[in-house]
């Protein structure tokens, strides 16, 4: 069990969204807190590829499908607000998983900034539960 799994469940993140966040967190290990992190679009596309049926993998436009899928997941993590009831309080925190995405259509990399609130809650879950971050 990891903090990311716990928080993903609480926020209702999908499997691909959770895998994207894990991939981004792996890349940002060396980055300063809240800095932009450069992630390979191929790495993100491979997350989606694992969900494809065998016949879909043989499609002539499979790479374009994977890139489009990666763009959709990134957009959801950027745009969709997530809500979380704060334990022991009557407050609800609302935030986005990603604060910023910089991507030029067709580029091999994307620059992302994980949301400060998301990262703070994730760190708190890891510390309170004494579990790994991701």
- CATH code (residue 123): 1.10.10.10
Tokens of 129: 């539960």
Edge-first strand listing for the sheet containing 37-40: 37-40, 109-114, 98-102
pTM of the model: 0.88
The structural domain count of the chain equals 1
Name the residue with higher pLDDT: 31 or 63: 63
Question: Which pLDDT score, from 0 to 100, does residue 110 have?
Answer: 96
The percentage of the chain sitting over the pLDDT mark of 70, rounded to a whole number, equals: 96
User: Rounded to 5 degrees, what are φ and ψ at 114?
Assistant: -70, 140
pLDDT tens track for 67-119: 999 999 999 999 999 998 877 777 888 999 999 999 998 899 999 999 999 99
**Helices 15-27/3-11 angle, 10° precision:** 140
Q: How confident is the model at residue 31 (pLDDT cuts 50, 70, 90)?
A: low
* Residue 104 within a domain: yes
Question: Which pLDDT score, from 0 to 100, does residue 30 have?
Answer: 61
Domain that holds residue 122: 3-129
* Residue 134 within a domain: no
* Residue 93 within a domain: yes
């Amino acid at each position: 069990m990891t903090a990311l799994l716990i928080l993903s469940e609480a926020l209702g993140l999908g499997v691909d969204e959770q895998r994207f966040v894990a991939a981004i967190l792996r890349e940002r290990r060396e980055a300063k807190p809240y800095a932009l992190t450069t992630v390979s679009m191929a790495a993100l596309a491979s997350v989606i590829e694992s969900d494809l049926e065998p016949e879909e993998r043989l499609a002539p436009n499979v790479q374009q499908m994977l890139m489009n899928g990666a763009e959709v997941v990134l957009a959801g993590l950027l745009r969709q607000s997530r809500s979380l009831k704060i334990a022991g309080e009557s407050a609800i925190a609302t935030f986005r998983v990603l604060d910023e995405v910089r991507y030029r259509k067709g580029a091999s990399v994307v620059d992302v900034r994980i949301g400060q609130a998301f990262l703070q809650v994730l760190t708190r879950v890891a510390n309170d539960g004494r579990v790994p971050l991701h």
